[in-house]
Structure 1
Amino acid sequence: MNKKSRFTLGLLATVSVIAATPACAQEQWPSKAIRFVVPFAAGGANDLMARAAAEGATKALGQTVLIENRPGAGGTVGADIVAKSAPDGYTFLISAAGVISNSMIKKSMPFKDDALVPVAMIGLAPSVIVVPKNAPYKDLRDFVEASKKGNGFNFATAGTGSTPHFVAEILNVKYGAKLQPVPYKSGSESTTAVLGGQVEGTSEASIIALPHILHDGKFKPLATTWTQRISAYPQLSTAVEQGFPELQIAHWAGVHAPKGTPDAILDKVAAAVDKAMKDPAAAAKLKAVGIEPVGGTRADFVKFVDAERKRLGEIVKAARMQEK
């Protein structure tokens, strides 16, 4: 065999090895711990859902799934870390509504929307519209009608683009309410504002609102804003039931991955999360604190994200929610 032939064969062998490496890596995945980046502080709805998903995924995948809390900028700090991570199946984002709406509202973003791809829905904490316990409103319709008089009501939010902000603007745009969003740094601060009487109301995740409804009685609930009643508090009617069919929004948590992560890995993660959410013990634990487990396929979550992007985008434009 001459030198040219040996060189050609060697080159072909090298190319074959390189081509086979990604496939081999996928077959061996996961061969080390997987990281779930939570873009919010520990203890909130997003974090609790992440931990439930991580526990179930650890069992399903046979590798430890670690939680890393990286809060800041409405979830953008953690999302940016994942968007710029290697697409090797070892780093995922525990996403929330901000992964859809932040780019519509913020002046600038450190990454493009398509840098993150939807993988799986974990679950959601239905939002609950609440007012102080001594407020005179009996339900959401009563509250909205009262807001139309005079200067309207102040409505606490967890910042621009937060779920409570969208609740207020949907009621304003779709139903003629006069709610002035008042941005606070967090849901806990806006909750304190309602309890202290600084604002007329707010919308908060069920996991935060229910203790103040069921245990200390400091909140009066007016409606839940998801499509179904809360498992842990079924006596509270939905906004849809009260005549507000377009007020459907929740504090949800899902899994997103860096663009370019192999489909085979994404499908395995989606299946692991779905299995975790369908585990009776895990589901019961989440429902007890006001969280509804969802799960489902990767296609289901892609459909959900696309629908939310269209729906929330319309509200952002109509309410002029963009940062000045």
Structure 2
Amino acid sequence: MGEGGGEIHAADLEPSAEHRAEFLRLLALRPVPQDPRRTLHLDPEQLPRLQPAWPGRARPGAAAARGAGADGRHLVGLRRRRAEVRRRALLGAALLPVPALGQGIGDFPNRPVRLICPYSAGGIADTVARIVQSKTGEALGQQLVIENRTGASGALGAAAAAQAPADGYTLVMEGATTITSPLVNKSLPLDYDMLLPITQLTSAPYVLGMRAGFPATDLRGFLAEAQRRPGEVTFGTPGVAHIGHLMGELMQAMAGVKMEHIPYRGGADVARDVAAGRLDACFISESSFRPVVESGRGKVIGLTGAGRRANMPEVPAIGEVLPGYELTTWILVFCPVGTPEPIQARLSTAFQAATGDAATRAKLDATGSDAVVAGPAEAQAVFRRDKAVIGRLMREAGLLVAR
């Protein structure tokens, strides 16, 4: 526009080069985050700069434009188009990628993940959890926090996980108790169908351990003593309906003996009482019983698997004395039902990174466990298979209590 207020041109309504540069600078500052956890923030002090180039007063020549006929109508249309461009620009900025409630796995996990171990510290479940903890946390990019929550043969810890939000931040590790407990206990604090396996960590036989000073030297002698003194020989396990309990009940049924079962909160507690001479025997993990053997206060007299293990070739499988006896255990990681499948996969992949690591596998092998690399589908297949097998064994052994 001429300084004397002469003829109006459309170009006169365009923002100055200075304002255009400022507008482009602000657009260039908009965040396009590499990390989806970053959040878009618009400084309110910058917003007025996105307004027309003449804030607080009428645009030059506005009155003349209103009476300028066709040229005025053209300029009004131009202003409307420019307003629409600004509106769309602001709308586009509002739609930039930012975290939202429905974005799924994009930023998962953005805080520590809790893994509940429903058994006492020092037992096999706790040992396995702490062996895989570091590598799993590295793969997740967040800390994996182990929480020991014991009681009710693992059911209290499992219930805490089942009742947690299905968002992937609370998991529980469990063995075959998830199968046996509902078959023998009518008053559980949860329905195990509320939990879904997402990976398998280990597979392993248990050991039949015997205290020092017991009047027997091997498995045959132990069973003979139990037969001679019905109901007097004691054996401990990590809990009622724990897989160790089932192993003991199955051995009694197949050998025709009667022993007294003493349930504990975890394998480490069982091992301490065997070492102290308060228990005659136990069905627990090799790692839980190893301190008893190393201290000379007990010995392993049988394995629950199909054969002998390379690290203890002198110890027979129970099936060598009781043909057909075989029962191993595993540790699966469960999430609450309803957890989104992409989050299940993300968690499973992180645990697989741990169990697939050579150093981690060596540590697990030292506990008497075989590391397993398994995704959700494989873990769920193992669970379904063993649920059928264990249910059949318990029916045949007359162990079903809950009807």
Match of 2:250 among 170, 175, 183: 170
The reply on whether 1:107 has 2:186 as its aligned counterpart is: yes
Give 1:124 shift.
4.3
* Map of 2:144 onto structure 1: 65
- Cα pair 1:50 1:253 within 8 Å, conserved: no
Distance in 2 separating the partners of 1:57 and 1:186: 24
Greater C-alpha Rg: 2
Q: 1:134 to 1:154 in 2, by over 3 A?
A: closer
Whole-angstrom distance in 2 between the partners of 1:125 and 1:55: 22
TM-score normalised by L of structure 1: 0.81
CA 1:234–1:55: 2 relative to 1, 3 Å: farther
Q: Does 1:182 align with 2:259?
A: no
1:30 is aligned to: 109
CA distance in 1, matches of 2:319, 2:349: 31
What is the aligned partner in structure 2 of residue 13 from structure 1?
none
Matches within 5 A, 1:146-225: 146-151=225-230, 153-158=232-237, 159-184=239-264, 186-213=266-293, 215-225=294-304
Shift of 1:261: 0.8
Q: 1:168 to 1:184 in 2, by over 3 A?
A: same
Letter in 2 for 1:178: K
In structure 1, distance between residues paired with 2:191 and 2:317: 35
Cα 1:294–1:192 shift into 2, 3 Å? same
Give runs of aligned pairs for residues 1-324 of structure 1, distance below 5 A.
24-124=103-203, 126-151=205-230, 153-158=232-237, 159-184=239-264, 186-213=266-293, 215-227=294-306, 229-230=308-309, 232-250=311-329, 252-317=330-395, 318-320=397-399, 322=401
Q: CA deviation at 1:315?
A: 4.3
Q: Quick one: distance in 2 between partners of 1:178 and 1:147?
A: 7
Deviation for aligned residue 1:101? 1.9
Where 1:27 maps in the other structure, the secondary structure is coil
TM-score by length of 2: 0.67
- Note the C-alpha offset of 1:193: 4.5
How far does residue 248 in structure 1 lie from its aligned partner after superposition?
1.3
Separation of aligned partners in 2, 1:248 and 1:39: 21
- Using the alignment, how far apart are the partners of 2:119 and 2:355 within structure 1? 21
Report if the CA contact (8 A) 1:169-1:315 is conserved. Answer: no
The superposition leaves residues 20-68 of structure 1 with CA deviations (integer Å, 9 ceiling, x where unpaired) of 9676222332232222112123222111211222322212222222222
Percentage identity across paired residues of the two chains: 27
- Tell me how far apart the structure 2 counterparts of residues 184 and 33 of structure 1 sit (CA, whole Å): 30
What root-mean-square deviation, in Å, do the aligned CA atoms of Structure 1 and Structure 2 show? Answer: 2.8
Unaligned runs of 5+ in 1: 1-19
Are the counterparts in 1 of residues 207 and 283 from structure 2 also a CA contact under 8 Å?
Answer: yes
The residue number in structure 2 matching 1:14 is: none
Contiguous gaps of at least 5 residues in structure 2: 1-98
The question of whether the paired residues in 2 share the 8 Å contact of 1:123 and 1:253 is answered with: yes
